[in-house]
Amino acid sequence: MKKQQFSFKVPKTVGEEATKIAIGLGYRHIDCAYIYGNEVQIGQAIRAKIADRTVKREELFYTGKLWCTFVAPKLVRKGLEKSLNDLQLDYLDLFILHWPFSLKPTGAERHTDSNKGFVYDNVNFLSTWEALEACKDAGLVKSIGVSNFNHRQQALQFYTLYKTYCTMYFCILFPFCMYPWCCRNFDSQYHQNSRALNFALTRYVSTTSPSITYY
């Protein structure tokens, strides 16, 4: 089983060294995102460990996430290419829609932006998905998926609509047991439907995380 490193809340100052150590210890799945703000440092570490022959690129599984300001179909590839450029990688192994809402790039990008607030957008996620498929077809990412969707947001209908694409690797990243407003009745229903549609299901901090204290 591949060990997994989450880069959420890893400061830029230690991101490179921490990732080098993790890869040296055998970690092969690196979970990161544009909004974490440390992909440059993570990418430097990956390239360094490839250069010193600790690992080959094909032995690593890198997960990136499309941030909410890039959800509009015309911006999806731009969001992916921003991560690729920061990482200095040719492709991502998995690229997922980070949250089931969209933000206009004219507003704040994150909640810590003090000079302006969020400007919410109304984007059809099915058109976003089609843009993600185009990125996969272009060879920029091997697998695509979604994160943090719940059935109140009609995620299952979303998956069902695209069940013809089950031959590709589809990932549903869901924070089991961390977010109570998402997890009610989740385990059995989502697990059964995911298996029926042949979608891979992964868990994020499935027990707990000492670094997350605001839920």
- CB-based burial of residue 186 (10 Å sphere; 0-12 exposed, 13-18 middle, 19+ buried)? middle
Catalytic residue, candidates 36, 62, 159, 204? 36
**Nearest to 199, CA basis, from 169, 174, 178, 176:** 169
State the residue for tokens 């549903």. Answer: 172
Residue 190 is a catalytic residue = no
φ, ψ of residue 75 in degrees (nearest 5): -105, -5
Instruction: Decide if 67 contacts 80 (C-beta within 8 A).
Output: no
| End-to-end Cα separation, the chain, in angstroms | 29
Instruction: Decide if 108 contacts 156 (C-beta within 8 A).
Output: no
- Residue 126, CA distances (Å) to 55, 159, 183 in order: 37, 10, 23
The residues carrying an active-site annotation are 36
